Amino acid sequence: MQELIVVATLTAKPGHEAVLKAALERVVPPSRAEAGCLRYDLHCDLEHPGRFVVLEAWRGAEAHAFHETTPHFLELIKAVDGLVDVQVLKLNQLV
């Protein structure tokens, strides 16, 4: 099974930066505790304080799919719905 790398970029709409940051910080510990999680790191863009990047590594696509059904992930989606722009890249390492 090939490791799945996910790069999620979340940009808060003006005035919602603190809400996004708090919601992302809450999801990190339970995500890291998932059996299929190899890495789940939250970063803040130094030039754009309302932009956050989550670098994730999962044991495979199935582990990531399970993550997207967990209560903490669903709570994150609900908390930031309509407040952010999201871009998600799902990657496999080539070399």
Token representation of residue 54? 């989550």
- What domain range includes position 53? 4-91
Over pLDDT 90: what percentage of the chain? 96
Q: Mean pLDDT of all residues in the chain?
A: 97
pLDDT value at residue 1: 75
Alpha helices by DSSP H, the chain:
17-32, 61-67, 71-80
Total number of domains constituting the chain? 1
Q: Say how far residue 22 (Cα) sits from the centre of its chain.
A: 13
- Collect all residues with Cβ–Cβ distance below 8 Å to 18 and sequence separation of at least 6: none
Residue 86 has pLDDT above 80, yes or no: yes
Residue 58 backbone dihedrals phi, psi, to 5 degrees = -125, 150
- CATH code for position 86: 3.30.70.100
Region 77-84: mean pLDDT is 96
Instruction: Dump pLDDT digits (tens) for 11-64.
Output: 999 999 999 999 999 999 999 999 999 999 999 999 999 999 999 999 999 999
